[in-house]
Amino acid sequence: MPEGIALGFDTSAAHCAAALLRGDRVLVQHHEAMARGQAERLFPLLEQLLAEAGLNWHDLDVIGVGTGPGNFTGIRVAVAAARGLALSLGIPALGVAVTEAAAHGLPRPCRVVIPARREQVIWQDFGTGAADDAGGRPQQAAAGALPPGPAPAAPAIPLAEAIARLALERRDSPAQPRPAPIYLRPADAAPPREAGLVILERE
């Protein structure tokens, strides 16, 4: 594991999770379940982690952020925060799919399955050599309707810790893109279509 201090966080589901690492060692991490309010809680939680570790923002070397798939608003909150921090601190921010984070540290081949809304699940296979493997993207399917493949495996380490570890491992890799949300379907809330004006003629 490369040396350096990494901050990883995720708000892609009903939680606000963050972890702070120094090289291979976890300094502090927190996972708070919450159905809403991640936007208001994220920065206080990050500042709490730094305070508990005796660090400040300028001690960070890299930021890792969960980019989904998951809750649309939660993903946007985390990605915007990571981009803003990277810009203000002058350090890289790296996006990590939640399926990739869930698979970190698992023996290959493996399949990760994450519950989603409306009896759906988000899943991805790793180490199988198939087209939907690690080089591909997470998939969404009805629960109980997954294609043949490895048995689903539980994550080996907490989500935010995995995100921080992957960010630290990739910190010095060339041409890393800015974090970007991963959406598997259109947003639930679409702008309303306004009806055209109706002109009433007086008789």
Two tokens, residue 1: 């594991």
Any domain includes 199: no
Contact 168, 96 (CB under 8 A): no
Structural domain harbouring 100:
5-106+155-170
Any domain includes 190: no
Contact 179, 93 (CB under 8 A): yes
Whole-angstrom CA distances from 83 to 4, 98, 99, 141, 177 are 19, 18, 21, 30, 11
Any domain includes 131: no
Would you call 49 helix, strand, or coil by DSSP? helix
Any domain includes 22: yes
Any domain includes 39: yes
Q: Could you give the number of structural domains in the chain?
A: 1
Any domain includes 198: no
Question: What type of residue sits at position 7?
Answer: L
Two tokens, residue 114: 């994450």
Where residue 79 sits, what CATH number does that domain have?
3.30.420.40
Residue by residue, pLDDT tens for the chain (203 residues) are 678 999 999 999 999 999 999 999 999 999 999 989 999 999 999 999 999 999 999 999 999 999 999 999 999 999 999 999 999 999 999 999 999 999 999 999 999 999 988 889 999 999 887 654 544 689 999 988 899 999 999 999 999 999 999 999 999 888 788 899 999 865 554 444 444 444 444 54
Any domain includes 56: yes
Report the alpha-carbon distance of residue 46 to residue 8 in Å, rounded. Answer: 9
pTM: 0.87
Any domain includes 202: no
DSSP state of 152: B
Contact 110, 103 (CB under 8 A): yes
